[in-house]
Amino acid sequence: MTRRVTKAVFPVAGMGTRFLPATKAVPKEILTLVDRPLIQYAIDEARAAGITEFIFVTSRGKSALEDYFDLAPELESKLEKSGKTELLEILRSTNMESGAIAYIRQHQALGLGHAVWCARRLIGDEPFAVILPDDVISAEVPCLQQMVEAHAETGGNMVAAMEVPREKVSAYGVLDVAEVRGRVLKVRGMVEKPPVDKAPSQLAVIGRYILTPKVLENLGQMRKGAGGEIQLTDAIAAEIGSSDGIYGLRFQGQRFDCGSKAGFLQATLAFGLARPDLRDDLMEFVEDVVAARRAAQ
């Protein structure tokens, strides 16, 4: 039987250069979509999937993240006294159980694979999830939950996969698929950031993974891949042909690349329009802006 996945790694040690100057002082994961930081969406998704241990791989300048997960007793009592029960509920829903979060440092930004490897001692000998908070996924059933359910059937390693336009493949890890079983894909190859003409498909890997401890062992070899970084994709790809194998899940939902400015703005708009308290005003504003632009053309 496949072991239940209860640990998730959140690699948040990157420098977030695409959001400079904001990320000079604020970690990218604290930037907000409407009123929730990116990291909160990632935590909520992990919790929905049954994760109970949350491992953050951080770096210098990320202390705002640790503060974010502290309790805020002064704030809570102020809201309580002033009868702001709705806000109090929202605030309390972000509280984490004592001891559920661990922070580990990646001392040098040697790549995503290296960041995950830094968490090896906290992961131990069991399957674990990796969530990149940059990828925000709006879905009826949260993406990691879809993966945990599929993984219970397949075991092995699983990555979240989505179709991307041909000209964008070189920005992703790309799958070579051997077999399609509904939404589950049996993978026979994986290439990180291939040139468009060398990409085996248009199925890109995005920031959700369920991995075996063997991948940590592979990472321990410290092989540099694309961009001179220690790539997670390469350590997963090394499992092709092993008894564990690799599966892709074409998840249901809409993914926003909040590591890019365009993706972040699109997510802000989509999440704003999904909020009943904001929808009408925002929609009216967007329609006015679009009409004014059209008139000016």
Instruction: Kindly state whether residue 17 participates in binding ligand UTP, applying the rule CB under 6 A.
Output: yes
Q: Which is nearer to ligand UTP, 150 or 161 (CB)?
A: 161
Asked if 7 and 120 count as a contact pair (C-beta separation under 8 A), the reply is: no
Q: Within 212-271, which residues bind ligand UTP (CB under 6 A)?
A: 259
Instruction: Kindly state whether residue 37 participates in binding ligand UTP, applying the rule CB under 6 A.
Output: no
Q: Which is nearer to ligand UTP, 12 or 150 (CB)?
A: 12
Residues whose CB falls within 8 Å of the CB of residue 21, separated by 6 or more in sequence, listed in order: none
Give me 258's structure tokens. 């909040």
3-state secondary structure of 196: helix
CA 94 from centroid of its chain's CA atoms:
18
Distances (CA, A) of 276 to 12, 58, 136, 159, 280: 31, 35, 20, 33, 8
DSSP letter at 274?
T
CA 103 from centroid of its chain's CA atoms:
17
Instruction: Kindly state whether residue 109 participates in binding ligand UTP, applying the rule CB under 6 A.
Output: yes
Give me 129's structure tokens. 């999830």
The size of the interface with ligand UTP (CB under 6 A), counted in residues, is 20
Instruction: Kindly state whether residue 139 participates in binding ligand UTP, applying the rule CB under 6 A.
Output: no
Instruction: Kindly state whether residue 134 participates in binding ligand UTP, applying the rule CB under 6 A.
Output: yes
Instruction: Kindly state whether residue 16 participates in binding ligand UTP, applying the rule CB under 6 A.
Output: yes
Q: Tell which one of 5, 8, 9, 13 touches ligand UTP (CB under 6 A).
A: 13
Q: Which is nearer to ligand UTP, 27 or 245 (CB)?
A: 27
**Residues lying near ligand UTP in the complex (CB under 6 A):** 11-18, 28, 57, 106, 109-112, 114-115, 132, 134, 259
